[in-house]
Structure 1
């Protein structure tokens, strides 16, 4: 009887730990902006922040960041990375379509009609080149509560791991 209770308790703890870990799914969009389009892109960034906040409030996504890349003396291929956070792979692969963006824009900017929103989104897309999109799964995380302020410098590595061998990859 003790073995059965111990086994059940161990299974319950394992299930709780497994489901207690929140896996995040991320879409990295590498963006190139021509130098004469930088001002337009910054206006687009401010416009999009409110739209993505609407998607967060609606629980369509769990977060959105725009990172500025600095590559030292050499100009880089990309100047920005937009990171959208999802809580499941289906939502990640579906993403936010134009209809979602228009819906959230009309909530964030009630003075604009649908045509105005679509024109603003099209103008925003014309000021940048979405050169590359990568779909990722977070496989490890730190327990620290980092508080990055605007202007914080950081570095990160993007690594490929084989599906089903994440634990091996983390150890090497």
Structure 2
């Protein structure tokens, strides 16, 4: 039976400012091991035009030190905060936070009840939540499972930019799609990283929420150290180097039949915590 403090702070997942690191940070552990299973909580936030400074202050001065303590205690692996590029008043969110775990038990109880008081002894929990809730609105939260990533053991620091691709895959076709990504495209991404065009790649499968009404079932991410690379992304040369005997247009046709790109976004790294 869970103690009252654990139950109380399990609800804080809705308030925590939790996709590489680049994708690469997703596979970090303490120390990182390629065999570890990784779970990713992605939270989408909306901040009003006049509230960005207050929001970032809440994230960086209040929540970031608590995330550092969570890492120290082995509860989480990493925390990253991104701004979503090219958003406006019609968009439902403009910031995204990612928290990674490698233990399902810590997913169930992601907070030690003593952390807020330990990190902020002069600030009560009600003040923390009040300042946070006034700074932003949480739009939704999603849980993913890591399927594959390059590199499997990440760099110490995440990359500055991520191209996030939301993939719609027909029911029952998930295994086929994963095989296509890992067998055909993963070597291409490895070549792209070797050539310096990208610095990382990852594939996540959505766990919750799920159902027939979900608009996408997978997310892939390409990560960049330089903004210009995100605007010039092309895998044609890497494809030729890895699959010289295959036809690029045929592979693209097969890929498009396996999934539909529901949406593509560009995220800019704001802050992060890793061990």
Structures share a fold, TM > 0.5? yes
2:165 aligned with 1:126: no
CA distance in 2, matches of 1:61, 1:164: 32
2:88 aligned with 1:80: no
Select 1:27's aligned residue among 41, 51, 71. Answer: 41
TM-score, normalised relative to structure 1: 0.69
Select 2:158's aligned residue among 119, 140, 148. Answer: 148
Which residue does 1:66 correspond to in 2?
81
Higher helix residue share: 1
Which residue does 1:8 correspond to in 2?
none
State the Cα distance separating 1:167 from its structure 2 match: 4.5
Which residue does 1:106 correspond to in 2?
117
Which residue does 1:57 correspond to in 2?
72
Higher strand residue share: 2
| SS at 1:36 equivalent | coil
Structure showing greater Rg: 1
C-alpha change, 1:167 and 1:141, in structure 2 (3 Å) is farther
CA distance in 2, matches of 1:164, 1:148: 33
| SS at 2:55 equivalent | helix
TM-score, normalised relative to structure 2: 0.46
CA distance in 2, matches of 1:148, 1:28: 16
C-alpha change, 1:29 and 1:137, in structure 2 (3 Å) is same
CA distance in 2, matches of 1:59, 1:163: 36
| SS at 1:135 equivalent | strand
State the Cα distance separating 1:62 from its structure 2 match: 1.0
In the alignment, is the contact (CA less than 8 A) between 1:54 and 1:107 conserved in 2?
Answer: no
**Deviation by residue 1:13-71 (Cα, 9 ceiling, x = unmatched):** xxxxxx96112100000000111222210111111110011011111111111111102
| SS at 1:154 equivalent | strand
Aligned residues: 145
CA distance in 2, matches of 1:42, 1:70: 16
State the Cα distance separating 1:138 from its structure 2 match: 0.5
Which residue does 2:51 correspond to in 1?
37
State the Cα distance separating 1:104 from its structure 2 match: 1.7
